[in-house]
Each structure stands twice: as structure tokens, then as C-alpha cells.
């Protein structure tokens, strides 16, 4: 294991120097762009400025006013060029037509870097495109940088469940591809006056060529499933709560805060909560602004799912619990007593403020 990045000595072969520009494939579904796409446009801007090149945003879908609006947003967040790829076949995401079109567009316009969100769509599409393009793809990066010596992308990602970080490069192949999870990069400021160039692309697809059909879409709101990934506040419970009835204390606090309730894997296995509330390696990865961990010891499997929270408050009776190694603030005490006190105190503060305003 050497600390010295060997890749810096590598010089790019002549034929790959035609690849220029940093691209983001904008994730658009049902007329909405995913926030991770704008986080990545912000990141692409920084990389492109270091390289002295342009930021390209690729927007795919069936032509509509929504698509036009999303193209405008892309400029606002920092894109110089928007590749607007429209065809009725692209209305819903399906791997086959999206991968085929994206491969063609990349081959035609030759970007040096292509970034996607590490979402179900982004990971599905990135894996397919990188295979056809026979290039390198680095998943779930937490940091992106440029080695100025040879214009190469240095993509840093956690490995071994977050115990190590590694920096990965794609040296002799282009484009260099990477995915980044939502909320890892900061959301850039939007400048509505920013304008750019639109490149319209009409791929002329035929629905008959696509084997996969979308029968229907079931939105989550209709399903009553927990939405932890986008929650600003999560109150989470572990085995320290003792018995299932005590989970009510967590729900009470969550209700006052408008928060979601998360749990550790043992609680799901014991049947206290459903799997959609499990936070951790085999459950959800979350990045809320506030994570209150009650009676959670902080095993690595749980930690990797929540340690990116902006602020972690942990409540545990054991002052040596591993969670206090990475939480920001600690209450050494019994969650069964602290939780109701927090609920009461929060309720009072929020109520007082409401009366005052």
C-alpha cells in the first residue's frame, strides 16, 4: 500500500486528447430533475474550471415544457452546454434505450469525464454505458479532484465498508466515469440569469426495438413506505430501548420534529419495525441534517448508513459505546428517560415560538 499516486506520471495517448469537457447526466423522471444532478453540476463546474473546459449537462426524456425548464435549471447551476436528447421512447427510464442513446451521444461528442448520481437510475445506466464504452467507472465517490499533471480524474471512494478510502483513476481510457451518492456534494447556488448553448439531439428511436415495457408506476406516496433517504431529521432506535413498546417514545419525538423514524438491523430482525426503516449497510444510507440515535451502540454496519449526517446526537447509557466515537454530541444516559424529556422540551420551544410570531 503506497501513499504515492502513481497515476500522475501517466501521459495520455494522443488519440484520447480529443475527449474534452466534464459532463453530468441529469436524472429526470416524470418532469422532475433529481437534486443529485445539480449537486454534480456544481462539482463538474469545479473540475471543469481546473481543466479549463466546459460543463455539459445531458437531459434525456420525451419533449415537454418540463424538459425545457430542466435545461434552463442546468445552466443556472453551472452548465455551459446542455445536450437535450428527446424522443417519445425516452419518456420513462428503461436501461436499453437510455444506454443506447447515451453511448451514441458520448461517442459523438467525446467528453473526458461523465458523472451520474449513485441512484437506482444512475447506477443502472452507468454500469451499462461503461461496459459498452469499455471504460473505467468508479462508484459512490465521496471526493473528486483533478491531477493537473495529466488531466486525470482522481475519484476517491470508501471501501471495505468505510474502513478505508481509495483513490481510483482511469488512465488510458476515456471518458472517465464516476457516480456520487445524493447529498455527498454540496448543492451549488443557482444563478437564474446564467445562459448557455443548447445542442438538440433527436435519436429517432422505435418503441418496437425496446423489449421492456412499463406497465405502470406506483408512487411511494400511494404506498405508505418510509422515506428515510430524503428526511431532514431522523430519530433512530437501537436495541438499547429494551422492548418494542418503548419504540413509541421515538415516534413521539419524531412526530414533534416532523422527522422520520429509523432503526438498526436487529430491530427489523426482531420484528419491531419494517425493513424500509432500516438504516445501515444492508438498509438505507441517509444524510439528514440531524440524526438522533437512541440506544444505538454504533456498530460499523449501522455507522456506514448514517455517519454522513450533518449532526449526530447519540443517547446511550454506556459512555464507551462506539457511537460516541463518531457522533458529534453525546448524552450519556437512559434513552427511556431522555427521549420523553426531549419530546417535551422540543414541543415547548416550537410552541413558544409559534405563539411569539
Partner 1 sequence: MHIVVCIKQVPDSAQIRIHPVTNTIMRQGVPAIINPFDLFSLEEALRIKDRTGAKVTVLTMGPPMAEASLRKALSFGADAAVLLTDRKFAGSDTLATSYALTSAIKKLHEEDPVDLVFCGKQTVDGDTAQVGPGIATRLGLQQLTYISRIEDVDVEARTITVHRRSEGGVQVLKTALPCMITMLEGTNTIRFGTMDDLFRAARTPLRQWGKDDCVEDETKVGLKGSPTVVSKVFVPKPKAEKAKIIEGDSPAALAAAAIDTIFAAQPKLAAELLAR
Give one word for 176, left, alpha or beta, with left for phi > 0 and alpha for psi -120 to 50. Answer: beta
Cβ pair 254, 197 in contact under 8 A? no
Of 20, 53, 119, 297, the one binding partner 1 (CB under 8 A) is: 119
Site for partner 1 contains 190 (CB under 8 A): no
Nearest distance in Å: CB 57, partner 1: 18
* Cβ closest to partner 1, residue 192 vs residue 217: 217
d(CA 264, CA 244): 13
Q: Which residues of 127-147 are buried (b: 16+ CB within 10 A; e: fewer)?
A: bbbbeebebbbbbbbeebebb
Would you say 27 or 39 has its CB closer to partner 1? Answer: 27
Of 68, 108, 148, 165, which lies in the binding site for partner 1, with binding defined by CB under 8 A?
Answer: 165
Local structure of 234: helix, strand or coil: strand
Q: Which of 7, 72, 203, 266 binds partner 1 (CB under 8 A)?
A: 7
Contacting partner 1 within 279-318 (CB under 8 A) = 281-283, 289-290, 299-301, 310-314
Count residues binding partner 1 (CB under 8 A): 109
The partner residues of 154 in beta bridges, in order of sequence, read 145
110 neighbors 23 (Cβ within 8 angstroms): no
Stretch near partner 1 under the rule CB under 8 A, chosen from 42-50, 72-80, 189-197, 205-213: 205-213
Closest Cα to residue 115, out of 82, 141, 80? Answer: 141
Question: Of 121, 144, 237, 261, which lies in the binding site for partner 1, with binding defined by CB under 8 A?
Answer: 121
Candidate residues 12, 51, 128, 205; the one interacting with partner 1 per rule CB under 8 A:
128
Which of positions 9-28 make contact with partner 1 (CB under 8 A)?
Answer: 27
Nearest 5°: the CA angle 286, 288, 292 is 100
Residue 154 contacts partner 1 per CB under 8 A? yes
* Min CB(218)–partner 1 separation in Å: 4
Strand partners, 279: 284
Note the Cα 265 to chain centre separation in Å: 22
Q: Which residues ranging from 225 to 264 are in contact with partner 1 (CB under 8 A)?
A: 232-233, 257-258
Indicate which single residue of 58, 168, 201, 226 sits in contact with partner 1 (rule: CB under 8 A): 168
Q: Where are the beta strands (DSSP E) in 232-326?
A: 233-237, 260-263, 290-294, 312-316
Instruction: Retrieve residue 218's grid coordinates.
Output: 406506483
How near is the Cβ of 310 to partner 1 at its closest, in Å?
7
C-alpha cell at 169: 483513476
**Residue 187 found at the interface with partner 1 (CB under 8 A):** no
Unique residue bearing C-alpha cell 467525446? 110
Nearest alpha-carbon partner for 116 in 69, 182, 192, 46: 182
Q: Give the residue with the Cβ less far from partner 1, 207 or 220.
A: 220
Least separation, in Å, of the C-beta of 131 and partner 1? 4
Using rule CB under 8 A, residue 143 touches partner 1: no
Taking contact as CB under 8 A, which single stretch among the options 60-68, 72-80, 220-228, 238-246 is the one that binds partner 1? 220-228
C-alpha cell at 284: 438505507
Q: Does 53 bind partner 1 (CB under 8 A)?
A: no
Amino acid at each position: 500500500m503506497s501513499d504515492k499516486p502513481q497515476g500522475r506520471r501517466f501521459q495520455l495517448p494522443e488519440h484520447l486528447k480529443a475527449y474534452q469537457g466534464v459532463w453530468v447526466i441529469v436524472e429526470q423522471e416524470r418532469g422532475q430533475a433529481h437534486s443529485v444532478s445539480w449537486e454534480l453540476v456544481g462539482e463538474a463546474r469545479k473540475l471543469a474550471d481546473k481543466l479549463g473546459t466546459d460543463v455539459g449537462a445531458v437531459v434525456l426524456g420525451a419533449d415537454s415544457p418540463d424538459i425545457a425548464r430542466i435545461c434552463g435549471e442546468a445552466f443556472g447551476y453551472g452548465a455551459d452546454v446542455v445536450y437535450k436528447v428527446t424522443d417519445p421512447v425516452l419518456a420513462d427510464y428503461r436501461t436499453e434505450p437510455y444506454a443506447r442513446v447515451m453511448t451514441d451521444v458520448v461517442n459523438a461528442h467525446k467528453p473526458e469525464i461523465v458523472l451520474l448520481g449513485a441512484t437506482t437510475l444512475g447506477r443502472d445506466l452507468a454500469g451499462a454505458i461503461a461496459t459498452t464504452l469499455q471504460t473505467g467507472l468508479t462508484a459512490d465517490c465521496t471526493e473528486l479532484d483533478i491531477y493537473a499533471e495529466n488531466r486525470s480524474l482522481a475519484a476517491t471512494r470508501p471501501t471495505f465498508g468505510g474502513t478505508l478510502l481509495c483513490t481510483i483513476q482511469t488512465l488510458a481510457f476515456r471518458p472517465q466515469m464516476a457516480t456520487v451518492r445524493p447529498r455527498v456534494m454540496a448543492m451549488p447556488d443557482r444563478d437564474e440569469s446564467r445562459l448557455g448553448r443548447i445542442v438538440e439531439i433527436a435519436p429517432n428511436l422505435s418503441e418496437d426495438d425496446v423489449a421492456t415495457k412499463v406497465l405502470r408506476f406506483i408512487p411511494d406516496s400511494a404506498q405508505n413506505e418510509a422515506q428515510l433517504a430524503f428526511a431532514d431529521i431522523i430519530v433512530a432506535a437501537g436495541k438499547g430501548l429494551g422492548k418494542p413498546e418503548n419504540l413509541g417514545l421515538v415516534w413521539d419525538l419524531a412526530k414533534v420534529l416532523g422527522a422520520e423514524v429509523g432503526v438498526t438491523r436487529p430491530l427489523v430482525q426482531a420484528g419491531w419495525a419494517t425493513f424500509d426503516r432500516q438504516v445501515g449497510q444492508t438498509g438505507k444510507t441517509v444524510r439528514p441534517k440531524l440524526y438522533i440515535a437512541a440506544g444505538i451502540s454504533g456498530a460499523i454496519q449501522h455507522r456506514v448508513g448514517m455517519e454522513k449526517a450533518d449532526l449526530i446526537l447519540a443517547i446511550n447509557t454506556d459512555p464507551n459505546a462506539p457511537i460516541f466515537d463518531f457522533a458529534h454530541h453525546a448524552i450519556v444516559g437512559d434513552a427511556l428517560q431522555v427521549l420523553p424529556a426531549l419530546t417535551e422540551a422540543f414541543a415547548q420551544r416550537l410552541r413558544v415560538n409559534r405563539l411569539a410570531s
